[in-house]
Structure 1
Amino acid sequence: MSTFLFGIDLADIGVFFQQIIFAYSLALRIQLSNQEKVKAQAHAVKIQKEANQQLEHKVQERTQQLYETNEDLERSNEQINVKNLELAETLSTLRSTQAQLIQSEKLASLGELTAGIAHEIQNPLNFVNNFAEVSAEMLDEMAEEIEKGDTEEVKAIAADLKQNLSKINHHGQRASSIVKGMLEHSRTSTGIKEPTDLNALADEYLRLAYHGLRAKDSSFNATMETHFDPDLPKVSVIPQDIGRVLLNLINNAFYAVAERSRSTVGAPLGGAHVPYQPTVTITTRKLADAIEITVQDNGNGIPEAIKDKIFQPFFTTKPTGQGTGLGLSLAYDIVTKGHGGTLEVDSQEKIGTSFVISLPVTSLNH
């Protein structure tokens, strides 16, 4: 049953008020939502602004760091450039010093050869003088025979004179070759390889080194043995350099046997003592892929403890003033770096030492 107030249904009035309350509530919610949205936007703007400020601050800090780093790099580059200049100067000084040391070593070895060279030159000069004197006497005889009219005797004397002149020329050439070898040894290496008779080169330096040592110590004697391969071909090497290697190894061998001679009175053999006979041996042979030269002595040998050091620069077992310590080091570099070969040592104490030079077959002159 409907209830009326002033002719209006109360139920309709209730519905109307519900609609008014709902509309008001909805409007209030919309207003609150807009306010929250504005607040949220303001908060987002604030956060963005703070983020931008932080980013700008970080950019400024990073820029400053990069600037400082760049300055550090520039200073480092300047220091590196200075160090490079210093290193270049040091390297130049080291190379100059190395060249001086090498030249000193060459001159030292040349000094050791001087006496041997003088001995070797004296022999052919003696022959030249003797044949010249004989030839002068034969010319006097020829003049007498010409006056007598003995033409047959004149022809015989002339034939003898011709032989004498040939011998004078031969020994003169021998003296000339010794001087030439001395000059080649003393001058700077050309670095040019040429076909070389290694048998002749080794024999030459063996005799020069021996007579050089004999000039220093006339009481010293040693047996020199050579076992040269007669079929050894000429080898393409730098003769001055290989000559220096051979000279150093041969000098060391004679030094070793001389030292043992001074310290040894006899060696036991079959229950008896026999005199020690110092011996230096040079052997050459052609292998399948190399040429091998061995310089061997029966000296005291090299102690095992220092065997690995003998090719190091400035290492020497000789007393002060008797060795620069550069000989074997230079020899090793000449053979290995200059000729692509090997230089090895085999030594046993109280038995002797062998140095073996091996030049690859590619160095052969075909």
Structure 2
Amino acid sequence: MLATLLAVAVGMGVYLVHSVSWHRQDELRQRWTECRNASLLADEAASAFVDRYVALFTGVARIPAVRSHDAAASGDYFRQLEQSFPEAENIAATGKDGCFFASAKPLSVPPQCISGKEFFQRVAKGAPLAVMQPHQGPITGEMVTGVVVPLTGDSGEFNGLVGASIHFSALSARWDELAASVKPSLVVYGQSGQVNYATGPFAGLLGKAVREQAPSLLEVDAKGDFPSVRFEGLEYLAGVLESRSSGLTILALMPRQVGVLGYFRDHPETPWMVSCIAILLAMAGYLQWKHRTWERALTTSEHRFRMILEHSPAGIGVYEAVSGRCVAANRTMADLMGGTLEELRRQNFRDLASWRNSGLLALSERVLSSGEPSRMDIGMTSNFGKEVMIDCLLARIEADSVLYLLLIIADISEKTRMQEIMVQTEKMMSLGGLAAGMAHEINNPLSGILQNAQVLANRLENDTPVNRAAAFESGCELETVWSYLRRRDAYALLRGIRDSAKRAAVTVSNMLEFSRKTSGEKTFTDLNGLLDRALELSLNDYDLKKKYDFRKVLVEKDYDTSLPPVPCTANQVEQVVLNLLKNAAQAMKCCTEGVAPSRLALRTRLDGEYVRIEVEDNGPGMPEDVRKRVFEPFFSTKPPGEGTGLGLSVSYYIITSNHKGTFEVVSKPGQGTTFIIRLPLGDDGSKTTTF
């Protein structure tokens, strides 16, 4: 019943639409035919206008006085002729050189010769006549056109031309009569593009350049069999004709929009058909109401489930227990597994190596057999080869007597990594405190060594009465003691003890300075000295000494000694520089050993309102895609286990956020790497202390 009602309604609707379309096409055909006929009639009016003057001047060209270029006689004749043709602005004749020899009216406006005019050249080359394009007349200043015919000599050769400038109003009067009797509007423009005649909604274009004011009139669109143009947002049927007699372009235009009122007027049965269609559709809608209600509820439920599935931050997949085929999954699941949704839905989970190797397959089979849900953290390799740590929840579900495996996974790689980093950070903090305590304990014996070495030097090297008395009591001269000590290199050994103790004291001092907790308070700091301390710390770094000997590196210091003290948190900036030195050492160790001498350059410069620090190495450099990401958290180019990817990101935060400076990197493959730090000289408002 429902199908029958819909079929009848559709059939009646198709008939109605087809009938309206046929009516519209017929109306368009009639309108375009009127446009075409109107343009033809306009051209006929122009042709009759031109033919009248061609016949006149063909006769004038045969008059002996005109043929012989008798200026006086020709001028008198032209003035008499002008009396019979008041629409003529002027009548004149030229020789074959284009210069006027006779005119009904004086030619006070140059040029006196017209050999350069296009219409003159056309007639000189053999054209039987020429029609001048509408232009401003030189005598009256009104719009004129013109008709000229050739003068011939006794042998028929070109010997000049004769014709008249005619007021354009004489031609437009003919078109006015035509426009009053036809429906289309008329637009006429010449080769220059200026509109010379326009009626209806196009009257405002009169005297204007059509290319500037209405360029769409030049773009005729041949839609089907009815050429059209657009004007002021409306579409018009266009009958276009380029007049061969006058050289003008004539457009006859009617609106393309066809209303349906005419169709209803010509087809009185249409309202009845529309009513029948409405009744049939209402009945069909009533019959489907309950069905659509249930369908809508089902669609809403399915849409809700689909939205939850697609927007879930966890990966969700549903697999058939028997076939292993994926029947539903979201994009997060596809991203974690490494692939697209289409690829994921074509896969059988029992065939995936990543499931077998990670133990996920065995866990899935256990859940399917036991029916008990299970949750576990599993490390696996995605189809793209990416190592990920995932939190898996598996459960067996049943729908329509079919068993399915539900898998919900979440990427906890970053969480696991952060936990490892936090543990390592706690270790480093404990190690820093232990190192500080050890440094304090080492300081005491170092002080004793340095003090006793100094006392020993005073007693063995200085010529004092006390020293001489002690030597005399021992049964020898002081000079003898000095001679013995020199022969046994005792003084050199003593200096070695003092130098070694001093170096140990400097190392302990640097360790204490670097491990000391910072309060964030800025101090005016000598950056050159700060760089030296960071370099000395790197020379004593056990990890660096174990992997790369800094003694093999040529360190170039290019410091600006005139730099003013810079307000900064010295420990933080020293941490940044030490991190850069470590990175440079590892880069040169990996890629320049045995190829080129390793070179490290440290520079400081005054850069406007900033102080610039440059750390440059001659390592392998970085490609552009790596250079853009070096400051991203957790991005590292080091082998697994050797870097967290946080060093440069923390350094970037220290410089840009804590110190309001800038941090840049310049690098190209094979050309080394330069890190550029700029620290402002001005105080940014934070507390600053001067030491």
TM-score (norm 1): 0.54
Query: What is the SS of the residue equivalent to 1:309?
Result: coil
| 1:316 partner letter | S
Query: What is the SS of the residue equivalent to 1:354?
Result: strand
Query: What is the SS of the residue equivalent to 1:362?
Result: coil
Length, aligned pairs only:
248
What is residue 356 of structure 1 aligned with on the other side? 676
| 1:178 partner letter | T
Query: What is the SS of the residue equivalent to 1:356?
Result: strand
Alpha-carbon distance in 2 for matches of 1:105, 1:346: 34
Correspondence 1:1-366 to 2 at 5 A: 100=422, 103=425, 128=450, 131=453, 135=457, 138=460, 142=468, 143-144=470-471, 175-212=504-541, 213-217=544-548, 221-262=552-593, 265-266=594-595, 276-363=596-683
Name the structure with the higher strand share.
2
Q: Is the alpha carbon distance of 1:151 and 1:221 closer, same or farther for their aligned partners in structure 2, counting shifts above 3 Å? A: closer
Q: CA deviation at 1:246?
A: 0.5
| 1:224 partner letter | V
Alpha-carbon distance in 1 for matches of 2:431, 2:615: 17
Name the structure with the higher helix share.
1
Alpha-carbon distance in 2 for matches of 1:169, 1:134: 11
Structure 1, unaligned runs of 5 or more: 1-92, 155-163, 267-275
Q: CA deviation at 1:209?
A: 1.5
Query: What is the SS of the residue equivalent to 1:299?
Result: coil
Deviations 1:187-219 (A, max 9, x none): 432101112111111112123324432343459
Alpha-carbon distance in 1 for matches of 2:625, 2:525: 37
Q: CA deviation at 1:135?
A: 2.4
Alpha-carbon distance in 2 for matches of 1:198, 1:104: 30
Alpha-carbon distance in 1 for matches of 2:618, 2:655: 24
Q: Is the alpha carbon distance of 1:194 and 1:169 closer, same or farther for their aligned partners in structure 2, counting shifts above 3 Å? A: farther
User: Is residue 558–residue 603 contact of structure 2 (8 Å, CA) maintained in 1?
Assistant: yes
User: Is residue 257–residue 278 contact of structure 1 (8 Å, CA) maintained in 2?
Assistant: yes
User: Is residue 184–residue 240 contact of structure 1 (8 Å, CA) maintained in 2?
Assistant: yes
Query: What is the SS of the residue equivalent to 2:512?
Result: helix
Q: CA deviation at 1:258?
A: 1.0
Structure 2, unaligned runs of 5 or more: 1-414, 482-492
Alpha-carbon distance in 1 for matches of 2:533, 2:573: 12
Where relative contact order (Cα < 8 A, 6+ residues apart) is larger, the structure is 1
What is residue 76 of structure 1 aligned with on the other side? none
| 1:181 partner letter | N
Q: Is the alpha carbon distance of 1:187 and 1:216 closer, same or farther for their aligned partners in structure 2, counting shifts above 3 Å? A: same
User: Is residue 421–residue 644 contact of structure 2 (8 Å, CA) maintained in 1?
Assistant: no
Q: Is the alpha carbon distance of 1:176 and 1:207 closer, same or farther for their aligned partners in structure 2, counting shifts above 3 Å? A: closer
What is residue 27 of structure 1 aligned with on the other side? none
Q: Is the alpha carbon distance of 1:233 and 1:175 closer, same or farther for their aligned partners in structure 2, counting shifts above 3 Å? A: farther
Deviations 1:278-337 (A, max 9, x none): 101100112221101000000000111121111011111001111111110110000000
Q: Is the alpha carbon distance of 1:277 and 1:291 closer, same or farther for their aligned partners in structure 2, counting shifts above 3 Å? A: same
Alpha-carbon distance in 1 for matches of 2:424, 2:663: 19
Identity of counterpart residues, as a percentage? 33
Q: CA deviation at 1:236?
A: 1.6
User: Is residue 610–residue 680 contact of structure 2 (8 Å, CA) maintained in 1?
Assistant: yes
Q: CA deviation at 1:358?
A: 0.1
Q: Is the alpha carbon distance of 1:231 and 1:323 closer, same or farther for their aligned partners in structure 2, counting shifts above 3 Å? A: same
User: Is residue 106–residue 186 contact of structure 1 (8 Å, CA) maintained in 2?
Assistant: no
What is residue 51 of structure 1 aligned with on the other side? none
Q: Is the alpha carbon distance of 1:241 and 1:252 closer, same or farther for their aligned partners in structure 2, counting shifts above 3 Å? A: same
| 1:240 partner letter | N
TM-score (norm 2): 0.30
**How well do the aligned residues superpose, as a CA RMSD in angstroms?**
4.9
Deviations 1:20-67 (A, max 9, x none): xxxxxxxxxxxxxxxxxxxxxxxxxxxxxxxxxxxxxxxxxxxxxxxx
Q: Which shifted more, 140-149 or 330-339?
A: 140-149
| 2:508 partner letter | V
Q: Is the alpha carbon distance of 1:107 and 1:316 closer, same or farther for their aligned partners in structure 2, counting shifts above 3 Å? A: farther
